Structure 1
């Protein structure tokens, strides 16, 4: 059997990413973006906005992220899209509606297009919790970028663009040696 797994040891020079960032709660989303860029850079991706590997798209808030992510995925120009945002609970049910719809929208963008779309939207009860997840204790932006790298590699393998971890099993069946048929 073939084992398909995303890897981080591949040549990343051909990979292209889009990062969609919600401006609302930018104190948090700016920190998530920094963590995301740090991870990508340490894995060989040129994060320069004027470069060729990462495009940055700023939207008003998290609610707008799924629409833009889907449009980017439909373009076929990206190996993965990373969605960054922060939805922080207030005193009204607005949080529940926005958080649920954003989660559904990001998932739908991936399902409808076949492009990995990483859900990097923080949904927290307080600003303190959001800041802890965006850099005070750890920066989940790093994790979201790592997820995008892994999924880009995995989907590339499944599409036949990258070798699987088991090179012999990745060969067409006609090229595999069957000891029962050997002369």
Structure 2
């Protein structure tokens, strides 16, 4: 659990893709629940919606460079279809989030599901496999705390 000092310095933001919103909304809800469990106040959390997972990286980079946030949680869902489009989007989303983190100096957390089908995605967005949005939020809290208290 974060102490009051640590909470005072945690300003997370979530960048959420609208594409596959049936999944991303559930991931977002899981993330918000985790932040609430760790006493992060609602007014300290911003949510920015982007069209799809491909666009997450550029928005995360801009937000990271703003200096307003201690962590950026990137939420999306890329589900394999009949073409190679999946590979391009999944790889670009991962590269974009990594690049945003490295270029901004702010931890950008990869909360983008990359699944073979809708059942896998639903299982990872609150089904049998838990909620990966909640897990990613915990990673954001840990990384923000690490950067704030040990890597200044």
Q: Distance in 2 between matches of 1:66 and 1:127?
A: 23
Equivalence for 1:153: 145
Structure with the higher fraction of residues in strand conformation: 2
Q: Does structure 2 retain, via aligned residues, the 8 Å contact 1:13–1:44?
A: no
User: Is 1:98–2:93 an aligned residue pair?
Assistant: no
User: Is 1:18–2:13 an aligned residue pair?
Assistant: yes
Equivalence for 2:63: 72
Structure with the higher fraction of residues in helix conformation: 2
1:122: Cα distance to partner?
0.1
TM-score, length-normalised on structure 2?
Answer: 0.95
Q: Deviations over 1:83-140 (max 9, x none)?
A: 0000000000000001001101100110111100000000000000000000012111
RMSD (Å) for aligned C-alpha atoms:
0.9
Equivalence for 2:135: 143
Q: Distance in 2 between matches of 1:15 and 1:22?
A: 23
Gaps (5+ residues) in structure 2? none
1:14: Cα distance to partner?
3.1
Q: What SS is found at the alignment partner of 2:94?
A: helix
1:159: Cα distance to partner?
3.7
Q: Aligned pair count? A: 149
Matches within 5 A, 1:54-69: 54-69=45-60
Q: Deviations over 1:22-53 (max 9, x none)?
A: 00000000000000000000100112xxx2x0
Q: Deviations over 1:129-153 (max 9, x none)?
A: 0000000121111100000000000
Gaps (5+ residues) in structure 1? 1-7, 161-183
1:158: Cα distance to partner?
2.8
